[in-house]
Amino acid sequence: MPICKNCGVELKDGTKICPLCGMSLNGSSPQKGTLDLKSSEKEIPGSPNLSHWIWELFTFLMIAGFIVVFMVDFAFGMSISWSKIPLVSIAYLWLTVTLAVKIEKKIYLLIMIEFLILLIFLWLLEMFIAGSSWFHEFALPFLILSGIILELTLVIVYGLKLKSLTILSICFISLGIFLLGLEAVLNRFLQNRIFVSWSLVACACLIPISGFILYLKSQLKKRGKELEKYFHT
Amino acid sequence: MANNFREKDWLTLDNAAKIYPATSTRRSPPVFRLTAILHSPIKLWKLQEALERLIPRFPYFQVYLHRGFFWYYLQRHQEIPEIKPMQHVGLSDLPIRRKTAHLLEISVRENKISVDFSHVLTDGKGGFRFLTSLIAEYLRNLGNKIKPHENILIPEQVPQPDEFIDAHRFFFKSGMPKPPKLNPAFHLKDKQLYHRKFRIITGCISTEKFISLTRQKGATITEFLTALYIYSLSEVYQDYIRNNIKPGSSIIRLEVPVDMRKIYPSVTMRNFSLYVSPEIDLKLGHYSFTDILKKVHHSLGMQLDDKELNRQISRNVSAELNPIIRIIPLFIKDLYLSRLYSRLGERIYSGVLSNLGKINLPDTMVDEIEDWGFIVHPNHVMKKSCSVISYGDRMKITISSVIKKREFERKFFKKLRTEGIPVHIEEE
């Protein structure tokens, strides 16, 4: 069995570097690093892929529904008329769920694509409903605003690895900004001019609440969760 | 308390440990080291396996110190203590104030295994049981058969609730008179070694010869060594007088820990030691070694009494339970406790003599273990401490010192030699 020249301890056969001091057994100098004698990482057995199975069932139902609606519409008039909206809705629903299942780990990308699909879906709806002009005036700016605020909130929450009350605090700030934007978009759509009034009050309330939540969190971190051991007398 | 730890993952400090976090410094950490020297080089991976299996048996040792608002407490540590390469000299300072630092440190070199324990965790007996159990598990891992023994705890056992308890509080009786107040004692005077450095000199003697000498003198081993310690300090005191060095106090008083498990039926693995304080006052005149031995013999006989020791428990636990003290925030308590430690500890004692006694192990382990070592970290006020351990026919008397001068050690071992005991000196 090999013996470390530095520590004098016996090591397992095949060991090249002493895990205690980092000295190479062929005599080179100790390597920096911490002792790692722990057993190799255990593999976590994978859970059964239930979500994939549900997605397959969902896909089957959606395809069946799509075909039935299409066939019924087509069979009666040999053209597509009323079924446009349900067909687009089914396609939108399937795409949304599929993306959520397939790219669930890339949350930022998922949200961006979901918003894009929603925009296309709403644009198609506006086209299929004759005489309506709400998409460019309201839906588009509203969805862009919502998407940007949601993305930014998630970047902050995940990027800074925030937890519980801090997330709530960030959500309150995001909500305040969202309300400002929402009122501006609404006023532009309804009154054809951009201004804010009630959302300023809401924002002025939400931001101090957010600050209070952060303060509460700092206090609870110190004294709430660990209350008993921290305050034991 | 055991349920408390299982459910809440934290433990209160025992009564004796409460003072240490406030008084611990890098110069004087409350640390002691136990070392076992085996016949063959340590097989590192086998030791690591043994440690991983054994540490859940000692959950009260797998902790780190945490500040509460009123008291410190021990928080369960998720990590197993690391095995480190042994330093050539000295003990670890076990940085108890560093977040998540273990309160024990295991180190190995060649055929030696050492564990440095913080007194926040346990005392000598608790530490000894841990190291013995670790070695037993290691030897079992190598294929040896180890017979069951009172000092060996095995991983298959479940930790007993009695091992967790603060025995001071368990055996506390209220309303006892306090122990008498003690005046400041004599301390050695010399410049201290550089930061965190200290000298260790070990005198090895024959246990058999020494026992026959102590019997002849009508004393126990601890009494004889205590008397020798006091005698050597009194010689240094006389040197100071001759050389016009002001000695400060004329009282030479030693702190001699007593394992309370021998007095009370307790299996606690946490601190359960108190102190007896033999002393002489050199203003009363010159004391020969025989005088000192006689005085120490009677003094220890008087103090090693459960009722007398109860006074210490009563004083210490009453202070802990005092409602006013309990509600004082920790940062103020820290100031108070460090003053208290100075008043009740380092100022009133000239030195410490800690005798762990004779190592008692099953035969199968005795065949594998060559020797044992025991070092107590010296206090920077008392300057030196003496620790004693005996194994087979070999008794090791280790004097650790934070000062450079060795006149005390010279006088100590010279006197032992003149009493007819051959001494073999080892220095680290």
Q: CB A35 to CB B84 under 8 A?
A: yes
Contacts of B41 in chain A (CB under 8 A): 3, 8-10
The pLDDT tens digits of the residues spanning A68-116 come to 999 998 888 788 888 889 999 999 999 999 988 888 777 888 888 989 9
Residue A225 in this model has a pLDDT that exceeds 60: no
Same domain, B271 and B314: yes
The pLDDT tens digits of the residues spanning B200-236 come to 889 999 999 999 999 999 999 999 999 999 999 999 9
Residue A41 in this model has a pLDDT that exceeds 80: no
The pLDDT value given to residue B414 = 93
Q: CB B85 to CB A21 under 8 A?
A: yes
The pLDDT value given to residue B317 = 94
The pLDDT tens digits of the residues spanning B121-135 come to 999 999 999 999 999
Contacts of A13 in chain B (CB under 8 A): none
Tokens of A33: 């690093």
Q: Give the pLDDT mean for B393-418.
A: 92
Same domain, B162 and B208: no
Domain contains B369: no
Residue A224 in this model has a pLDDT that exceeds 80: no
Give me chain A's average pLDDT, please.
81
Contacts of B84 in chain A (CB under 8 A): 20, 35
Q: Distance between CA A6 and CA A26 in Å, rounded?
A: 11
Same domain, B149 and B236: no
Residue A34 in this model has a pLDDT that exceeds 60: no
pLDDT band per the 50, 70, 90 thresholds, residue A40 = very low
Helix (H, G, I), strand (E, B) or coil at B25: coil
pLDDT band per the 50, 70, 90 thresholds, residue A39 = very low
DSSP-derived secondary structure for A92-104: HHHHHHHHHHHTT
Helix (H, G, I), strand (E, B) or coil at A170: helix
Q: CB B44 to CB A9 under 8 A?
A: yes
Q: CB A9 to CB B326 under 8 A?
A: no
Q: CB B109 to CB A21 under 8 A?
A: no
Tokens of A25: 């057994």
A contact test, residue of B39, B45, B49, B325 with most A CBs within 10 A: B45
Residue of higher predicted confidence among A3 and B20: B20
Contacts of A232 in chain B (CB under 8 A): 12, 68, 70-71, 73
Residues of the domain holding B53: 2-170
The pLDDT value given to residue B99 = 62
Residue B91 in this model has a pLDDT that exceeds 90: no
B contact test, residue of A17, A23, A32, A37 with most B CBs within 10 A: A37
What's at B175, amino acid-wise? G
Instruction: Provide the ipTM.
Output: 0.71
Residue B99 contacts A where some CB pair is shorter than 8 Å: no
Contact B45, A38 (CB under 8 A): no
Length of chain A: 233
Contacts of A7 in chain B (CB under 8 A): 44, 85-86, 108-110
Residue B318 in this model has a pLDDT that exceeds 70: yes
The pLDDT tens digits of the residues spanning B142-172 come to 999 999 999 999 999 899 999 999 999 999 9
The pLDDT value given to residue B2 = 46
The pLDDT value given to residue A60 = 93
Q: b/e per residue, A141-154, with b = 16+ CB within 10 A?
A: bbbebbbebbeebe
Contact B84, B106 (CB under 8 A): yes
Q: CB A10 to CB B44 under 8 A?
A: yes
Among the partner residues A9, A11, A231, nearest to B69 by beta-carbon distance: A231
Residue A204 in this model has a pLDDT that exceeds 60: yes
The pLDDT value given to residue A223 = 63
Q: CB A232 to CB B75 under 8 A?
A: no
Residue of A nearest to B41 (CA): A9
Same domain, B120 and B240: no
Contact B169, B317 (CB under 8 A): yes
Residue B194 contacts A where some CB pair is shorter than 8 Å: no
Contacts of B66 in chain A (CB under 8 A): 229
Contacts of A225 in chain B (CB under 8 A): none
Residue of B nearest to A223 (CA): B69
Q: CB A9 to CB B43 under 8 A?
A: yes
Size of interface A-B (CB pairs under 8 A): 71
Give me chain B's average pLDDT, please.
90
Provide, rounded to the nearest whole percent, the portion of chain B with pLDDT above 70. Answer: 95
Neighbours of B124 (CB within 10 A): 23
The pLDDT value given to residue B92 = 61
Domain contains B364: no
The pLDDT tens digits of the residues spanning B16-52 come to 999 999 888 877 888 999 999 999 999 999 999 999 9
Residue of higher predicted confidence among B72 and B342: B72
Residue B330 contacts A where some CB pair is shorter than 8 Å: no
Residue of B nearest to A3 (CA): B41
Q: Residue with structure tokens 């000598």?
A: B124
Domain contains B10: yes
| C-alpha dihedral, B263 to B265 to B267 to B269, nearest 10° | -40
The pLDDT value given to residue B345 = 81
Q: How far is A34 from chain B (nearest CA, A)?
A: 9
The pLDDT value given to residue B391 = 95
Residue of higher predicted confidence among B14 and A6: B14
Residue B3 in this model has a pLDDT that exceeds 60: no
Contacts of B12 in chain A (CB under 8 A): 232
Residue B191 in this model has a pLDDT that exceeds 90: no
Contact B422, B203 (CB under 8 A): no
Same domain, B141 and B283: no
Q: How far is A176 from chain B (nearest CA, A)?
A: 37
Q: Which of B249, B248, B252, B247 is nearest to B229 (CA)?
A: B252
The pLDDT value given to residue A8 = 79
The pLDDT tens digits of the residues spanning B256-314 come to 999 999 999 999 999 999 999 999 999 999 999 999 999 999 999 999 998 999 999 99
Residue B78 contacts A where some CB pair is shorter than 8 Å: no
Chosen domain end from B154, B170, B186: B170
- Domain coordinates in residue numbering, chain A: 1-31, 52-132, 134-210
Q: How far is A2 from chain B (nearest CA, A)?
A: 10
Contacts of A12 in chain B (CB under 8 A): 45
The pLDDT tens digits of the residues spanning A143-157 come to 999 999 998 998 898
Residue B84 contacts A where some CB pair is shorter than 8 Å: yes
pLDDT band per the 50, 70, 90 thresholds, residue A43 = very low
Contacts of B87 in chain A (CB under 8 A): none
Q: Distance between CA B154 and CA B151 in Å, rounded?
A: 10
DSSP state of B381: T
* Residues belonging to chain A with any Cβ–Cβ distance to chain B shorter than 8 Å: 1, 3-4, 6-12, 18-21, 34-35, 37-39, 223, 228-233
Residue B1 in this model has a pLDDT that exceeds 80: no
Q: In this structure, what CATH number is given to the domain that contains residue B122?
A: 3.30.559.10
The pLDDT value given to residue B88 = 60
Q: Residue with structure tokens 């896909």?
A: A59
Q: CB A3 to CB B41 under 8 A?
A: yes
Q: How many domains does chain B have?
A: 2
In this predicted structure, which of A222-226, B31-35, B411-415 has the lowest mean pLDDT?
A: A222-226
What is the torsional sign of CA A187, A193, A199, A203? positive
pLDDT band per the 50, 70, 90 thresholds, residue A44 = very low
Q: CB A35 to CB B75 under 8 A?
A: no
Per-residue CA distances from A4 to A30, A115, B51, B103, B273 (Å)? 11, 61, 20, 27, 40
Residue A216 in this model has a pLDDT that exceeds 60: yes
What's at B172, amino acid-wise? F
Residue of B nearest to A226 (CA): B68
Among the partner residues A8, A20, A232, nearest to B70 by beta-carbon distance: A232
Among the partner residues B10, B108, B326, nearest to A20 by beta-carbon distance: B108
Domain contains B30: yes
The pLDDT tens digits of the residues spanning B332-374 come to 999 888 888 887 788 999 999 999 999 999 988 999 999 999 9
Residue B43 contacts A where some CB pair is shorter than 8 Å: yes
Q: CB B41 to CB A12 under 8 A?
A: no
A contact test, residue of B69, B106, B110, B333 with most A CBs within 10 A: B69
Q: A67 CB contacts (<8 Å, ≥6 apart)?
A: none
Q: In this structure, what CATH number is given to the domain that contains residue B286?
A: 3.30.559.30
Q: Give the pLDDT mean for B101-130.
A: 93
Provide, rounded to the nearest whole percent, the portion of chain A with pLDDT above 70. Answer: 86
Vertex A35, ends A34 and A41: CA angle to 5°? 105
Among the partner residues B42, B52, B73, nearest to A10 by beta-carbon distance: B42
